[in-house]
Amino acid sequence: MLLNIKICAYVFFLLPLRANSFSFRVIKTNNIMKQILLTIMLSAMSLSIMAQTDTAQVASDTIEGFRFTTVDSIAITPVKDQNRSGTCWSYSTLGFLESELLRMGKGEYDLSEMFVVHHTMLDRAEYVVRMYGTAQFAPGGSAYDVIYCLKNYGLVPQEVMPGIQYGSTPADTLPVHTELDAVAGGVVDAVANSGLKKLTPVWKQALTAVYDTYLGECPETFTYNGKEYTPKSFAEELGLNADDYVSITSYTHHPFYTTFALEVPDNWRMDQMYNVPMEEMMAIIDNALANGYTLAWGADVSEMCFTRKGLGVVPEEEKAADLTGSDAARWLGLSATDKREELTKKPLPEKTITQEMRQAAYDSWENTDDHGMQIFGTAKDQNGKRYYMVKNSWGTKKSEYKGIWYVSEAYMQYKTNDVLVHKNAIPKDIRKKLGIK
């Protein structure tokens, strides 16, 4: 495209120079040619610009004082909306697996989040009851819950189990789990804290009926693209091997290069994560992206500077304003909302994150296990500063970038709880330290 524009420009500007040696007729012809060539040039330039901006965030995005340009990105499936449900873990990890299928040349799939949620919540309820109600029953989960479902129950397409059993308007196609969570939570609490010396064998059937009513029954068999499957045979045909996916974290209260179950409520299955230094955790993320792999990301998004506009940064508050005299008084008097605006209206110097800072934030409960998303690329701002591109599950209308977030390296270092990644995306030297084959 650029070569064609250069050729048009060459002819366009040379024609007037040669017109002096021709007759008036030739000059007139050249004027017509100039108009034609100008039209071609403008059309070519327009097509070139359209080609660069046709895919999400490929060219440039702007949010107030930030201007982002994509450096590289990996294919993702469309952004979804978890709406009023605590199921980000299912959306983000299935989005990750859908990108894995694209990477593997399997084509684009839309996998059912609520099939995974249904199985996971029944398992979690059984765990809570076995723990006599001392464990937490909540709609949250981890990336490993999806991998566990893949391995033990299979998967189904979205069209087979959409997960909405009520409502008649277009808005009702989005999940609203307020009532479901209350009803299911009431059943589990009543059973787990009944005080009975012996439970009946049918309590789980009662809870299954609740999830069947709100989400639909998990199919035993279904037809997709003219072929009959079970959830497990469908998963097997997809070619996703659950054992290929590993969880990575970075904390010092357990030895590096060992595995441990990260102590957060939603890791109730006790997923054993590989523990590496922060620098190696970041190296794994970067190596994955450089080699065409996305990652499922578990993170803390409760911070002031993870905005609903599509930004995640860790600015130095002291450098946001000259904290002396009247400036200090003004800054200290700002509300949390106004401070957020000040800290995120343009690129600012960010904190230098250390392993010790990560650990202190985890130990003090500053870092919480909030949200699951998908990391799929990198970008830079107008100053050349690097960011990660993250697919969220809050729909396309709740951020400036149609469901995509830009997260700084400092934020990724500080607020990452864990990532799920294909084992082959881990650098060979780190894999060797971890004993991953």
Helix-, strand-, coil-residue percentages of the chain, each rounded to 5:
45, 15, 40
- Do 282 and 412 contact (CB within 8 A), yes or no? yes
- pLDDT averaged over every residue in the chain: 86
| pLDDT tens digits, 95-139 | 999 999 999 999 999 999 999 999 999 999 999 999 999 999 999
Of 57-61, 326-330, 347-351, which has the strongest mean pLDDT? Answer: 347-351
Helices (H), 19-163: 24-53, 88-103, 113-130, 143-152
Query: For the chain, what are the domain ranges?
Result: 2-54, 66-314+350-434
d(CA 189, CA 29): 87
Sign of the dihedral defined by the CA atoms of residues 300, 410, 346, 403, in that order: negative
- Residue 131, CA atoms < 13 Å, CB-side half-sphere: 15
d(CA 88, CA 372): 5
Tokens 């079970």, residue located:
230
This prediction has a pTM of 0.84
Q: Please determine, for residue 266, whether its predicted confidence score (pLDDT) is greater than 80.
A: yes
| pLDDT tens digits, 371-387 | 999 999 999 999 999 99
> What is the pLDDT, as a whole number, of residue 398?
79
DSSP-derived 3-state class of residue 383: coil
- Average pLDDT, stretch 283-293? 98
Strand-strand pairing, 245-249 and 272-275: parallel
Taking each helix axis from N to C end, the angle separating 113-130 and 143-152, rounded to the nearest 10 degrees, works out to 100
- Do 135 and 268 contact (CB within 8 A), yes or no? yes
> What is the pLDDT, as a whole number, of residue 42?
42
| pLDDT tens digits, 386-401 | 999 999 999 998 788 9
- Do 150 and 234 contact (CB within 8 A), yes or no? no
> What is the pLDDT, as a whole number, of residue 268?
97
d(CA 355, CA 88): 27
List, in sequence order, every beta strand (DSSP E) within 187-310: 222-224, 227-229, 245-249, 259-261, 272-275, 295-299
Taking each helix axis from N to C end, the angle separating 178-192 and 113-130, rounded to the nearest 10 degrees, works out to 20
- Do 248 and 284 contact (CB within 8 A), yes or no? yes
- Average pLDDT, stretch 178-187? 97
Q: What are the distances in angstroms from CA 386 to CA 69, 381, 382, 408?
A: 10, 7, 10, 6
Tokens 């990575």, residue located:
248
Q: How confident is the model at residue 304 (pLDDT cuts 50, 70, 90)?
A: confident
Q: What are the distances in angstroms from CA 25 to CA 30, 31, 38?
A: 8, 10, 20
**Which neighbouring-strand residues pair with 377?**
73, 389
86 vs 328 pLDDT, higher one = 86
- Average pLDDT, stretch 330-356? 87
| pLDDT tens digits, 417-428 | 999 999 999 999
User: From 3.30.420.40, 1.10.3720.10, 3.90.70.10, 2.50.20.10, which CATH number describes the 66-314+350-434 domain?
Assistant: 3.90.70.10
Helices (H), 270-426: 278-290, 317-320, 325-332, 336-344, 355-363, 409-415
- Do 371 and 297 contact (CB within 8 A), yes or no? no
Q: Please determine, for residue 81, whether its predicted confidence score (pLDDT) is greater than 70.
A: yes
> What is the pLDDT, as a whole number, of residue 325?
53
CB count in 10 Å sphere of residue 310: 24
> What is the pLDDT, as a whole number, of residue 61?
74
Q: How confident is the model at residue 9 (pLDDT cuts 50, 70, 90)?
A: very low
> What is the pLDDT, as a whole number, of residue 59?
47
- Average pLDDT, stretch 348-363? 97
Q: Please determine, for residue 10, whether its predicted confidence score (pLDDT) is greater than 70.
A: no
Q: Please determine, for residue 3, whether its predicted confidence score (pLDDT) is greater than 50.
A: no
- 356: which residues sit within 8 A by CB, 6+ positions away? 252
